[in-house]
Chain A
């Protein structure tokens, strides 16, 4: 702790220890049934969305006479309104959803952590202004706001969609980070760092934030869950003209084409419903288990 003044990038925790901490978390995660299932689900969907497409060819051929077929050995999840294989669409349809969710969660966490840490540490007018903005964004119903914004911004780019979702998603996490920083900054080691005149940036990002890694990991997962909810909703209402194939577009097409009223359409409409629900469920179980690992007080309650 004493020699860190002159060497800015060297943190007390170099690479090896971080890897070990990560491994320990992973191990603790797998020991809980919920954590193991959640982790397995998330890994499964990541593989399905990013590795799956190189093994399964997307079926784009219209096959007359094979529309709305129930699942069979030829079509594992049935066929859509043009007789195309639903299974291949599910395999190819996860990538965009997960990319948007990850982009959103990354930007949300970055904004929330930096604003929350600074607001908590600096206090004063900066704190007041950031809190007021966060309060206003938290009060405005998110989904209607996104609808209105979607009429002005053409959301045909998945990164842009992620940025927009993140611009609305940061306040809750920011407030939580802020209150944690408020309590952490009273600790002795922060006092010591301040006496050493280490500078606000160094204290916030090198001394305070590392002790909140677990909390940030949980919030990242929750951010993904919210982003999936919002983006699929927007796509479903036809407000995100995303070209190509994803679960949201599948859901919208199946709904608009009236697949629910056709007996053979059950596989077509239920496939994206189940895929999205299972991904959400895996993420939530992962978040809950992370919470229990990083917050031991919870373990006693259950």
Chain B
């Protein structure tokens, strides 16, 4: 951000290299990509050193366990542990670290301890898409629903609809999403027996063939509907209230008055003049929300027994399957960082003021 303001006024006479440096760091896209990579690197570094430097570190533990359980000689147990964690234990720590980063860059995240022979990357490829589908779809629904309802609330201020939605929105917003999930199961599933919750577990029915068939799509939605309802219900309130505040503020802008004075139609003012500008503050909220919802999927998936990456992370954590845990966490973070990056670039496209730097 500091670099951005400098790049606007490059001092004359400095070497061309500095000029290029300022041009590159001053570029909005370059800065955002650099920030994303920095975050992923920080997370990879943190997990690497946590696994190795913490007291009772999991590699030593695992070696000890192999020796005790299978009576392996130390060297053999050590080799096995090294291959599972995808590190070379004979190298100095810094060399291990560089090697680890290199392997991550190539998509090699080691092997699972608990399910022998399964590659962590394969596990992630199998489960991550379900979470992305579920969370992404929910965010999209709740964002659109929230914008529509929020705009309505702003136009019909102090109406019954406004008060009712404000009440419901704040109420749902304050209850933790996992409690909403439980309430859904308790009442819809068990008390009133409206939904067969046991059958709805998993990400699809056993024996279902993936493909672009109606049966498959219906089945996938059937399994995802409860998590989606939970995500939508717990996030839509925020969008609604933010959109209402933002629309109310935009309605008082001079250019809106001017448009009215010019005699433009209400429809045109509402969409092109008010709507487009009122949505802008929601984008910054959107980026924060992606991380929150994606992170919260850990709890929601455990409650609904939805087979996504969050549930894999929970079982890896409770089973102390460190390579899987490390990989899942890294990928979850990377997905959030990537989604944030996309949202930010989109924001920069919609609102050109952002690109110049704050």
Residue among A141, A147, A283 making CB contact with B333, cutoff 8 Å: A141
Q: A147-B298, A266-B191 are in contact. Are A142 and B173 (CB under 8 A)?
A: no
Residues in B with CB closer than 8 Å to A233 are 176, 178, 299
B182 CB within 8 Å of chain A: yes
Q: A136-B42, A139-B340, A232-B176 are in contact. Are A269 and B291 (CB under 8 A)?
A: no
Residues in A with CB closer than 8 Å to B336 are 139-141
Residues in B with CB closer than 8 Å to A138 are 288, 291
Q: A135-B35, A233-B299, A301-B245 are in contact. Are A128 and B47 (CB under 8 A)?
A: no
Establish whether residues B325 and A143, one from each chain, have CB atoms under 8 Å apart when the complex forms.
no
Interface stretch (choices B66-74, B76-84, B312-320): B312-320
Establish whether residues B317 and A229, one from each chain, have CB atoms under 8 Å apart when the complex forms.
no
Q: Mark B245-256, 1 if CB is under 8 A from A, else 0.
A: 100110000000
Establish whether residues B170 and A141, one from each chain, have CB atoms under 8 Å apart when the complex forms.
no
Q: A136-B38, A136-B39, A148-B329 are in contact. Are A143 and B179 (CB under 8 A)?
A: no
Q: Mark B106-121, 1 if CB is under 8 A from A, else 0.
A: 0000000000000000
A141 to B333, CA, bound (A): 6
Establish whether residues A140 and B302, one from each chain, have CB atoms under 8 Å apart when the complex forms.
no
**8 Å CB interface, A245-291 against B:** 251, 255, 260-261, 266, 269-270, 273, 276-277, 280-281, 283-285, 288
A55 CB within 8 Å of chain B: no
Residue among B173, B245, B295 making CB contact with A143, cutoff 8 Å: B295
Residues in B with CB closer than 8 Å to A199 are none
For A, the interface residue count at a CB cutoff of 8 angstroms equals: 45
Establish whether residues A144 and B190, one from each chain, have CB atoms under 8 Å apart when the complex forms.
no
Residue among A131, A141, A149 making CB contact with B332, cutoff 8 Å: A141
Establish whether residues A141 and B292, one from each chain, have CB atoms under 8 Å apart when the complex forms.
yes
CB distance from A116 to the nearest CB of B (A): 16
Establish whether residues A142 and B179, one from each chain, have CB atoms under 8 Å apart when the complex forms.
no
Q: Give the dominant DSSP class at B's interface.
A: helix
Establish whether residues A144 and B182, one from each chain, have CB atoms under 8 Å apart when the complex forms.
no
Establish whether residues A281 and B175, one from each chain, have CB atoms under 8 Å apart when the complex forms.
yes
Establish whether residues B179 and A147, one from each chain, have CB atoms under 8 Å apart when the complex forms.
no
Establish whether residues A144 and B333, one from each chain, have CB atoms under 8 Å apart when the complex forms.
yes
B279 CB within 8 Å of chain A: no
A266 to B336, CA, bound (A): 37
Residues in B with CB closer than 8 Å to A280 are 174-176
CB distance from A120 to the nearest CB of B (A): 13
Establish whether residues A239 and B190, one from each chain, have CB atoms under 8 Å apart when the complex forms.
no
Q: A141-B294, A232-B176, A266-B191 are in contact. Are A273 and B329 (CB under 8 A)?
A: no
23 A-B residue pairings within 8 Å (CB atoms): A128-B1, A128-B2, A135-B35, A136-B42, A138-B288, A141-B291, A143-B295, A144-B295, A145-B329, A148-B47, A152-B54, A233-B176, A237-B314, A237-B318, A239-B317, A255-B182, A260-B182, A260-B189, A266-B191, A273-B183, A280-B175, A284-B173, A301-B248
- Residue ranges of A at the interface with B (Cβ–Cβ < 8 Å): 128, 131-132, 135-136, 138-145, 147-152, 225, 228-229, 232-233, 236-239, 251, 255, 260-261, 266, 269-270, 273, 276-277, 280-281, 283-285, 288, 301
Ranked nearest first, the 4 interchain pairs of A and B with the lowest CB-CB distance are: A141-B295, A143-B295, A284-B174, A277-B175
